[in-house]
Chains A and B, each alone.
Chain A
Amino acid sequence: MSTHASTAQPSYLVDTGARKGLMAWLTTTDHKRIGLLYLYSMITFFFVGVGIGFVMRLVQLTSFQKLITAQTYNALFTVHGVIMIFLFVVPGLPAIFGNFFLPILIGAKDVSFPRLNLASWYFFIAGAILAVLSLFTGGGAPDTGWTFYAPFSLKTGTNVSLAVFAAFVLGFSSMLTGINFITTIHRLRAPGMKWFRMPLFCWALYSTAWIQLLATPIVAITLVLVILERFFGIGIFDPAKGGDPLLYQHLFWIYSHPAVYIMILPAMGAITEILPTFTKRPIFGYKAIAFSSMSIAAVGSLVWAHHMFTSGMSATANMVFSLLTMVVAVPSAIKVFNWVSTLYKGSIDFQPPLLFTLTFIFLFCIGGLTGVMQGALALNIHIHDTYFIVGHFHYVMFGGTGMALFAALLYWFPKMWGKMYSKKAIYASWFPMFIGFNMLYFGMMILGMMGMPRRYYVHLPQFHTMHVVATVGSWLLILGLIMFFGTLLYAIFKGEKAGDNPWGGVTLEWTIPSPPPLENFEEIPTVTHGPYHFEQQEAK
């Protein structure tokens, strides 16, 4: 692969246009800066969501019920879900690392539509502002849960209309980003960058972009119908008017289950980038991983109704969706086997990104396998709407997407800011994070198996011990998160200078300076081989 590291151009972090400082950032069309805009805003939302989760755990631990009413608790879990889902994990890796690295990884200077890219961020921020406004206007914070199930969402006096409109606006951000990535991958690959020479993170982004583009409009229209029903009583979902509340659940999950794959596929892509670098060998089963991404995107779009096994849906549909749910586990398992096979006989360099990558694999396997369990109809009836589901979901979304996001941040941090963090401090942050995580969410799964329903304001005495364990776990987890992000924040300002290629990576981003120059490459590179070309290490 011939590349030409640029030295003539200034770093993307230097203001070169007419505008300086904050205005230069708010009007930027540079994909790297837009990636950072997403990162800073999402981490802010993430910590707001963490804070709400912390309060909910306190409610379960103590007699905080005296301070927080049941109505407020309902609002807290709704807002926690809305923030974490719509403002953190759904946009998550594609918006941050996809924006920052997709053009670099395929040898391009930017995405296909840079202005549309900035518009996507503004849609994201507008949606976030509307979501915040919904807490303090109208009838107050919505209390429906993040799923906005009808008919309750049609009847409640809280400000559901504005909250679902916020989700509608956020959907535009997602769709526009999807269009941008699809077009960029089709049109802007460097000479010689054939489809099967693309890094697998690009394949993951490509699969995700198609889901964003095809599934998001369905939930957008569904949410508009909720608003219309609330204002005009059109009776599509309201059974009192001949409507079908299960239709709402179908339409909601037709998007929202594939959305789970919007959340996890880019995470899997990032993990697939990290493993070859720290094992110094090509990824095992490149094409299998690429095709499994597309398979997950396709089959994952057909399993939505496994969220509805106890809703009153027909027995035939229950069986069909149970089968399809089992099928989607296959491509996910292919990825896990390939990751583990990549480690086998690799020259392992145990750096912080690899630690978080292995953590991802471990936690994702627990989350994934408990997901397959729930695909089994008989078991699902028992654990439906219990804490088991909450625990499972957090293993997949936080243990999966969250840990992968942390791993990706650690991996690409030296490239993004040109600085290196304290590895010892990151290792130190891992321990409370990992131990706290498992106490919290495995504790929740045990509670669920014992019969503790989700979204309850109070609990029976027999559940209290595990609630204490889970709450102490949440404190450890938050301690780890503060140490983790504190270390990275310190490194941005005071970190030692990182080299252009501190990990010995071989994909295109490691051939350019750190931080990258404004237009990434002095000359567009010509690609002559696959992305994980460790022939020297192989020869050894």
Chain B
Amino acid sequence: MTEHTAHTADHGEAHAEHPGYGTFIKVWVALLILTGCLVGVSHLGQTAAVWGLLTLTPLKAALVFYYFMHLKYEGPLFKIVVLVTLGTLLIFFALLFSDVAFR
């Protein structure tokens, strides 16, 4: 099976391509490695654990969004909606940190 199989007739243009099993397995392995890293980092102290969570967890979520939830194969509208949502979340985080980080 190729990396991306051709789309079938009952799928719209937004679903132009689909990942194959190979891609899924690679992403799964990557997720396992990242989870292992997170567990490892958590043993290095609270600061490392927090930074690990803040950086590696979004990376894991991005992989899930991108491949398992097919965001990679969607049209620009879906990608913009997800980006706006994530941007909003980031603003909320930043505003929350203006409290937590300076308390």
Q: Report A's interface with B, CB cutoff 8 A.
A: 214, 246, 250, 254, 301-302, 305, 312-317, 320-321
Contact A250 B88 (CB under 8 A): no
Closest to B103 in A: A314
Asked whether B78 is an interface residue with its Cβ less than 8 Å from the other chain, the reply is: no
Smallest beta-carbon distance A4→chain B, Å: 34
A301 contact set on B, CB distance < 8 A? 88
Taken together as a complex, chains A and B put the C-alpha atoms of A305 and B88 apart, in Å, by 16
Taken together as a complex, chains A and B put the C-alpha atoms of A246 and B99 apart, in Å, by 10
Closest to A316 in B: B102
B98 contact set on A, CB distance < 8 A? 314, 316-317, 320-321
Contact A250 B103 (CB under 8 A): no
Q: Which of B55-103 contact A (CB under 8 A)?
A: 85, 88, 91-92, 95-96, 98-103
Q: How large is the interface on B (under 10, 10 to 19, 20 to 34, 35 or more residues)?
A: 10 to 19
Taken together as a complex, chains A and B put the C-alpha atoms of A316 and B101 apart, in Å, by 9
A254 contact set on B, CB distance < 8 A? 92
**7 interchain residue pairs of minimum CB distance:** A317-B99, A314-B102, A316-B102, A317-B98, A314-B103, A320-B98, A313-B99
Contact B96 A250 (CB under 8 A): yes
Taken together as a complex, chains A and B put the C-alpha atoms of A321 and B96 apart, in Å, by 10
Smallest beta-carbon distance B75→chain A, Å: 15
* Extra inter-chain contacts (19) besides given A214-B88, A313-B103, A316-B101, CB under 8 Å: A214-B85, A246-B99, A250-B96, A250-B99, A254-B92, A301-B88, A302-B91, A305-B99, A312-B103, A313-B99, A314-B98, A314-B100, A314-B103, A315-B102, A316-B99, A320-B95, A320-B98, A321-B95, A321-B98
Taken together as a complex, chains A and B put the C-alpha atoms of A315 and B101 apart, in Å, by 11
Render B19-43 as a binary contact track against A, CB cut-off 8 A, 1 for contact.
0000000000000000000000000
**B95 CB contact (under 8 Å) in A214, A305, A312:** A305
B92 contact set on A, CB distance < 8 A? 254
Smallest beta-carbon distance A251→chain B, Å: 9
A320 contact set on B, CB distance < 8 A? 95, 98
Taken together as a complex, chains A and B put the C-alpha atoms of A315 and B92 apart, in Å, by 18
Contact A314 B91 (CB under 8 A): no
Smallest beta-carbon distance B93→chain A, Å: 11
B103 contact set on A, CB distance < 8 A? 312-314
Closest to B97 in A: A317
Taken together as a complex, chains A and B put the C-alpha atoms of A250 and B92 apart, in Å, by 10
Closest to A311 in B: B99
Smallest beta-carbon distance B73→chain A, Å: 23
Contact B95 A302 (CB under 8 A): yes
B100 contact set on A, CB distance < 8 A? 314
Q: Which of B1-25 contact A (CB under 8 A)?
A: none
Closest to A312 in B: B103
Contact A317 B102 (CB under 8 A): yes
A314 contact set on B, CB distance < 8 A? 98-103
Taken together as a complex, chains A and B put the C-alpha atoms of A320 and B95 apart, in Å, by 8
| 16 A–B contacts from the bound complex (CB under 8 Å) | A246-B99, A254-B92, A301-B88, A302-B91, A305-B95, A312-B103, A313-B99, A314-B98, A314-B103, A316-B98, A316-B101, A316-B102, A317-B99, A317-B102, A320-B98, A321-B98
B96 contact set on A, CB distance < 8 A? 250
Taken together as a complex, chains A and B put the C-alpha atoms of A315 and B88 apart, in Å, by 23
B91 contact set on A, CB distance < 8 A? 302
Taken together as a complex, chains A and B put the C-alpha atoms of A312 and B99 apart, in Å, by 9
Smallest beta-carbon distance B99→chain A, Å: 4
